Structure 1
Amino acid sequence: MRRDTILWVLLAILGVACLALVLNQDGRIVGLGEDEFASLVYLGTIGFGMAAALFLFSRTGLGQALRHLLVWIAVFAAVLAAYAFAPEMIAIKDRVMAVLVPGSVVALPNDGEHAQYLVTRGADGHFHLTGEVDGRPASFMVDTGASVIAMDTSTARSLGFHPDDLSFTNFVQTANGVARSAPIILDSVKVGDIERRNVRAAVTESDGLGTILLGMSFLDTLTSYDFRGNRLILTD
């Protein structure tokens, strides 16, 4: 096997590994956590490189072997640097995904006391994010003008509520004004790893919302929510 072939194989392995880390969104790759996967790639690359170096050195003269050694040292230095900065690279990847994938809720490094999550502003000027309501996937739009979590009747129906059984005797304040509504209690609302139980919500009488408004009945339970330009930081 020629030196160039071995080098290209090694670079291909590193390229695939980096691509897997960048595209991964659920925190696990082939059953391993991101840090464990990065460690496996790092150790595997060193092992592969040492085996390849021994193979090549056995078939070349001293001068050529030294030149090969310098190439492998450079490759190992690059791998070592990538491994050493893996947490920073993963954090950068997460922030890039938050920008590229609308609704992404990205965990931020924290001091161990409070978990923080990043959401970026959408093209329409609002903060959209994905999460769960009563264990079902849900799409939210942050609305500090809504006194409670609010949704229209079609959205409520998709979450298992029956609008015909609800009593639209209350009113809810939204960014679009006051709307007739029916009060409900959501067993669980989850955004990132932030989960709240028994959250007050309302179903509006019309079908005009098209999304779930993440109102103050959820936001007020957080330690803080900070708008920083085009970023929203949610602190558990």
Structure 2
Amino acid sequence: MFALLLLVVGGAALLLLSMDGGFAGLDEGQFAHLVYFGAWGLLMAGGILALFRGRLFGALRDLMVWGLVFVALIGVFAYSHELKGVGDRVLGVLMPGRAIEVAGSGGTQYRVVRSGDDHFHVEGSIDGRPVTFVVDTGASMIALDTVTAERLGIDTAGLNYRADIMTANGVAKAAMVKLDEVRIGGIERRNVQAAITEGRLLGGTVLLGMSFLNTLTSFDFRRDTLVLTD
């Protein structure tokens, strides 16, 4: 192998000295680089053959396996963004209520898969505290009951329950408040109007009503998917 390496390098050197205007489309510098890396390749190949002498087939098999692993890792890195999107979509199906960001021509979009009870439950937060909303286009604003509001750290002392709000279950008496922050995925809104109903009227459910939905560029129901566009 060493003799072959010397022969190749020597022949290449002679060819390089006699070159005038390049060789096979390569200029002198490119050809010199080719010879340099080719020589190192031959040297490494010779070392591998010497190391695995007697079990060449196993060595070639191992090299092929590692080569495939390397190609796979490069592929994962190159398509990491696309693979993340696929993973998010799978999680969206397996975990209804998870807001999955998708590319949209009209702005940032989030998709939510319908839950088994035929409602759209959306994970989000109110004033930094996690909450699961139920989308209700029949509710004029975000609505939650007093017990849930207190759990979320909202001060309910002195509330006056004299306003009428429309929910899917009809008209309810409520007190008007402003929520400092409402967030779903990367969609954030400040000073969002909300209604707090007395006691446990909503049974712990937090309705995502029109006071939030109307701030979006659009919201669309596409069969079993809700699309929120910021």
- TM-score where L is the length of structure 1: 0.70
SS of alignment partner, residue 95 of structure 1: helix
> Are 1:97 and 2:83 matched, yes or no?
no
SS of alignment partner, residue 133 of structure 2: strand
**Which residue, 104, 107, 115 being the options, matches 2:101?**
107
* 1:55–1:208 distance in 2 versus 1, CA, 3 Å: farther
Partner amino acid for 1:130? E
Partner amino acid for 2:52? T
For the Cα contact (< 8 Å) 1:120–1:232, is it kept in 2? yes
For the Cα contact (< 8 Å) 1:105–1:191, is it kept in 2? yes
Deviations 1:135-177 (A, max 9, x none): 2222211110000000011011112334441111110000111
2:179 matched to which residue of 1? 186
For the Cα contact (< 8 Å) 2:49–2:56, is it kept in 1? no
Task: Trace 1:1-236 onto structure 2 (pairs within 5 A).
Answer: 59-61=51-53, 63-64=56-57, 65-111=59-105, 114-209=107-202, 210-236=204-230
Partner amino acid for 1:185? K
SS of alignment partner, residue 165 of structure 1: coil
Q: 2: CA distance between counterparts of 1:54 and 1:226?
A: 64
Q: 1: CA distance between counterparts of 2:138 and 2:177?
A: 19
Q: 2: CA distance between counterparts of 1:54 and 1:127?
A: 64
Q: 2: CA distance between counterparts of 1:57 and 1:144?
A: 71
CA RMSD of aligned residues (A): 2.3
For the Cα contact (< 8 Å) 1:179–1:205, is it kept in 2? no
For the Cα contact (< 8 Å) 2:125–2:184, is it kept in 1? yes
SS of alignment partner, residue 154 of structure 2: coil
2:12 matched to which residue of 1? none
SS of alignment partner, residue 132 of structure 1: strand
| Shift of residue 55, structure 1, vs aligned partner | 8.9
* 1:207–1:90 distance in 2 versus 1, CA, 3 Å: same
- TM-score where L is the length of structure 2: 0.72
Gaps of 5+ in 1: 1-52
Question: Percent identity of the aligned residues?
Answer: 49
Gaps of 5+ in 2: 1-44
* 1:59–1:208 distance in 2 versus 1, CA, 3 Å: farther
Q: 1: CA distance between counterparts of 2:143 and 2:46?
A: 66
Partner amino acid for 1:71? V
| Shift of residue 129, structure 1, vs aligned partner | 1.4
* 1:205–1:54 distance in 2 versus 1, CA, 3 Å: farther
| Shift of residue 99, structure 1, vs aligned partner | 2.0
Question: Between Structure 1 and Structure 2, whose CA radius of gyration is higher?
Answer: 2
| Shift of residue 59, structure 1, vs aligned partner | 2.3
Q: 2: CA distance between counterparts of 1:200 and 1:55?
A: 73
